[in-house]
Amino acid sequence: MDTLMTRFYKHYPHLKHNKAVDSFISKQDNRTLIEQFLHEPNAEREYELNEAFKSHYFDIRFTAYVSSSLYFHSVNFDKKHRTYSERHPLTLDKKTDQGDGQAFIDLVPDQSDSLSPFKNFSTLAECLEDDDLLAGYMALTDRQKRILDLAYVQEWSDTEIARSMGVSQQAISKSHKKALNALRTLLQKKE
């Protein structure tokens, strides 16, 4: 192949280091046409070689045109989409009136990223490390313990706890507060 290219560039020295010609020569069919032309130069073979190169060059230019066209259309589409989004924001994308630059979506908690420290426990007794607090928890009634377990380990609301226990939400809220007050009183005495 080296001798073929040497002979080719001897006939056409101005084509040396031309990227289009290099890519044309890289294809086996085109190398065969060049070899035939150099072996037996005549008008017919030169015409075939020229037509093959024109076709190859058209493909290069067409591909470049389509690529740049796609690029500019995507840029314009992005500009139009961004302009429309700025003019017609979704409700959650609108800025809050608090003047801090936050959008409403920034205020929505992420449910997938649960920060529950008690995820691997079933009761508060399993996760309490403070001995005084554990003693106070153990001194509560079974009902109060169950309410605290459901509220803090399972992260249920008072309404959900009430529904599961078959009582009113107010009764659960009252028992919940009473249990917390009992723990607070116990801890204050220890201090």
What is the spatial distance between Cα 25 and Cα 6, in angstroms, rounded to a whole number?
12
What pLDDT score does 142 carry?
Answer: 92
Given this model, what pLDDT does residue 133 score?
85
- Single-letter amino acid code for the residue at 119: K
**Cβ contacts of 147 within 8 Å, gap of 6 or more:** 161, 172, 175, 176, 179
pLDDT of residue 162: 92
pLDDT of 1: 55
Q: Which residues of the chain have pLDDT under 50?
A: 113
Q: Residue 34: name the closest of 13, 59, 9, 14 by CA.
A: 9
Report the distance separating Cα 5 and Cα 21, nearest Å. Answer: 11
Which pLDDT value is given to residue 55? 92
Q: With beta carbons less than 8 A apart as the criterion, state whether 138 and 125 touch.
A: yes
Chain centroid to Cα 42, Å, comes to: 61
Report CA 135 to chain centroid distance, whole Å: 47
Closest CA to 160 of 142, 174, 144, 147: 147
Do residues 104 and 93 touch, judged by C-beta distance below 8 A?
A: yes
Is the whole-model pTM more than 0.75? no
Task: State how far the Cα of 84 lies from the Cα of 75, in Å rounded to an integer.
Answer: 14
- pLDDT given at position 96: 61
pLDDT at 109: 57
